[in-house]
A and B are shown apart, each in its own frame.
Chain A
Amino acid sequence: MDVFDGLMHGFAVALTAGNLLWALVGVTLGTAVGVLPGIGPALTVALLMPLTAKLEPIGAFIMFGGIYYGAMYGSSTTSILLNTPGENSSVVTAIEGNQMAKRGRGAAALATAAIGSFVAGTLATFALALFAPSVVTLALKFGPADYFALMVLAFTTVAAVLGTSLLRGLASLFLGIAIGLVGIDMQTGQARMALDIPYLLDGIEVVILAVGLFAVGETLFVVSRQKLLADQIIPIKGQIWMTKDEWRRSWKPWLRGSVIGFPFGALPAGGAEIPTFLSYSLERRLSKNPEEFGKGAIEGVAGPEATNNSAVTGVLVPLLTLGLPTSATAAIMLAAFQQYGLHPGPLLFQSNPDLVWGLIASLYIGNVMLLVLNLPLAGVWVRLLAIPRPYLYAGILVFAGLGVYSLHASVFDLGTLCLFGVLGYVMRCAEIPVSPAILGLILGPMAEQQFRRALAISQGDPTVFLTRPISATILTIALIALVAPPLVEYYRSRRRRCVFDQASS
């Protein structure tokens, strides 16, 4: 099926009344939950997962697509009006957007974010439809060794990119992989790390870890610092719509952002954080009035927001074609796929074209819905920000307990949730990023399977990873990603020390 046929087929699936309704529900709920401070996109998707339990897979994934986009959009609203970015890729939006809001242009910041997300989302979805089939063709040539190399690359970039310290990122990643070892080994049927507890034989669900680390850990962290974190909501005032000048200054950053974001998302290179920073510095360099940056330049919202949306759409390329999640949110989406017994990868395009193309088509539709919904409803979302902190976090915990309990109606799951909550609190206090752990949990078992498969094919010869050109190349890139930043830092600090010595002597 070529791209055009696929898309047409997808629209035929997505434009039925039922699926349109699910897309609308997904977009609305995603935005509403994503707006709440302290809830990022990954947690939004994890918390709303039980709602889809009774749906057909296609309806469920169309709703998920809506939740995914809605959550992204919702968290950018929060960062503009509250200056609390829900995720790393909204950090830049928070800088400029919050300054704009303080100058009374909050509405314009929200508008440029919404329209920029729409433009970027639409272009990136088109790119997704265009590129996915060729990636599938490529992916069919991949052997187990190549898949393993890809996963190693995803591991290293995630650990190196997310958070402040490579070591702490790796600690989080290894924790996640270790948790993924719990349960019955898929190839030999032996129990591992189960400590003779029957409950542990089934392994540990990604959703429990995600909700524990993000929702419960975050709540415990916030309560330990509550007096320090008094934030102010900036009311929307002034002219609601963007001025002509603001339009003129926005449209180029939207397009540039769309172009920057997509490849970063599509490569297994750690998601949307780096491209948003790239877009921000690019816009600052290209701007006629760079002195405005840091004080509320609209380009600094338009560019990074478009980039972010384009990158999160790009993330769906490796997720759908290779089954490879490259962000915490994508990891939870993958867990959702697995719950339906679906295994994303090149074969999914052949075995479930309805689902894949329906999902892609519904991303277009979701983008339109988001635009229609968010421009007039921004005021409603703002009111959600005004929920007092005690009720907000109490509500988050009730929802977290509900989400986890509804998986299997198991009290053990709730106990595990408590433990992971404490773990999340410790990690937050120690500034260990939590996203690598979530990716480690879902990717670890997959990586192990490919690793062992590759060695079984090569009859135990470990050089297989280095003799296949694809895997050798990918592993080299992974090594560079791991080693280069500390080396650069080392030389830079040495040079600084030399300069300092000369200056002092």
Chain B
Amino acid sequence: MIGETERDAEPRLSQKKVSATVISVALVAFGLFVAHQGYLIGQDQSSYARVGPQVFPYMVGAGLVIVGVLLSIDALKGTWPVMWAETADEHALSRPAYWRQLSNVGLVALGLVVNAFLIAPLGFVVSSTLMFALTTRAFGSRRIPFDLAVGAMFSGFIFLCFTYALGLPLPSGTIWGAR
């Protein structure tokens, strides 16, 4: 039993290290990107302003690169643990429970994307209701029809408030014909 815990503890640490290292590398890469974008603007700024639009991107890019490099030291030392999900079971990383938690994150994200894509064609009420139900599902609710009803009432109420009381019309959906 102890042996199993130890075997689990080792990959846990390295996985946290890898996540932290990836984040610091991403910061360095983003810094280089920002500096490159500054470079693309070009140096031919012979304007009276002396300091052209490329200077700040250089400064910010350099800042990101420096911070990213310094953070990568923290990451490799293991003093900066990054966990994408946690479960009640301490040693559950890379086990089904851990992946279930992560898939719930994906489910919420899916709801957001669905809302973004459907708000114009199907309208605010329908798209929000779908996002609402996906979110409650991700948070562990099993009563999907009930949640859909709650979501529809909630977003319907907001729709009416905004459209009639505040005078801020929300999209009612292009495929339903009426605008």
Enumerate chain A interface residues (CB-CB to B < 8 A). 50-51, 53-54, 165, 167-168, 170-171, 174-175, 177-178, 181, 185, 187-188, 190, 192-193, 216, 219-220, 223-228, 389-391, 393-395, 397-399, 401-402, 405-406, 409, 411, 414-415, 417-418, 421-422, 425-426, 429-431, 444, 448, 451-452, 455-456, 459-460
Cβ of B60: which chain A residues have Cβ within 8 Å of it?
A: 174, 177-178, 181, 444
Q: Is the CB of A430 within 8 A of B82?
A: yes
Q: In the bound complex, how far is the Cα of B116 from the Cα of A415, in angstroms?
A: 6
Q: Is the CB of B105 within 8 A of A425?
A: yes
Q: In the bound complex, how far is the Cα of B90 from the Cα of A333, in angstroms?
A: 42
How many A-B Cβ pairs are below 8 Å? Answer: 201
Q: Is the CB of A398 within 8 A of B34?
A: no
Query: Knowing A187-B49, A418-B112, A430-B82 touch, does A174 contact B67 (C-beta < 8 A)?
Result: yes
Interface size on B, residues (CB 8 A): 76
Cβ of B115: which chain A residues have Cβ within 8 Å of it?
A: 397, 401, 414
Tell me the nearest residue of chain A to B48, going by C-beta.
A456
Nearest CB in chain B: distance from A180 CB, A? 9
Cβ of B63: which chain A residues have Cβ within 8 Å of it?
A: 170, 174, 177
Partner of B139, one of A50, A167, A389: A389
Query: Knowing A178-B60, A220-B108, A429-B82 touch, does A418 contact B154 (C-beta < 8 A)?
Result: no
Nearest CB in chain A: distance from B21 CB, A? 11
Q: In the bound complex, how far is the Cα of B57 from the Cα of A227, in angstroms?
A: 42
Q: In the bound complex, how far is the Cα of B140 from the Cα of A425, in angstroms?
A: 19
Cβ of B167: which chain A residues have Cβ within 8 Å of it?
A: 54
Q: Is the CB of A181 within 8 A of B80?
A: no
Q: In the bound complex, how far is the Cα of B38 from the Cα of A461, in angstroms?
A: 21
Partner of B52, one of A170, A188, A426: A188
Q: In the bound complex, how far is the Cα of B84 from the Cα of A401, in angstroms?
A: 24
Cβ of A50: which chain B residues have Cβ within 8 Å of it?
A: 162, 168
Q: Is B128 an interface residue (CB 8 A)?
A: yes
Q: Is the CB of B45 within 8 A of A188?
A: yes
Q: In the bound complex, how far is the Cα of B169 from the Cα of A75, in angstroms?
A: 31
Nearest CB in chain A: distance from B120 CB, A? 6
Mark each residue of chain B from 108 to 134: 1 if its CB lies under 8 Å from any CB of chain A, else 0: 110111011101100010001001110
Nearest CB in chain B: distance from A308 CB, A? 30
Q: Is the CB of A223 within 8 A of B34?
A: no
Nearest CB in chain B: distance from A212 CB, A? 10
Q: Is B155 an interface residue (CB 8 A)?
A: yes
Which of B50, B74, B83 has the most chain A CB atoms closer than 10 A to its own CB? B50
Q: Is the CB of A397 within 8 A of B111?
A: yes
Q: In the bound complex, how far is the Cα of B134 from the Cα of A220, in angstroms?
A: 13
Mark each residue of chain B from 47 to 69: 1 if its CB lies under 8 Å from any CB of chain A, else 0: 11111110111001101100110
Q: In the bound complex, how far is the Cα of B166 from the Cα of A411, in angstroms?
A: 21
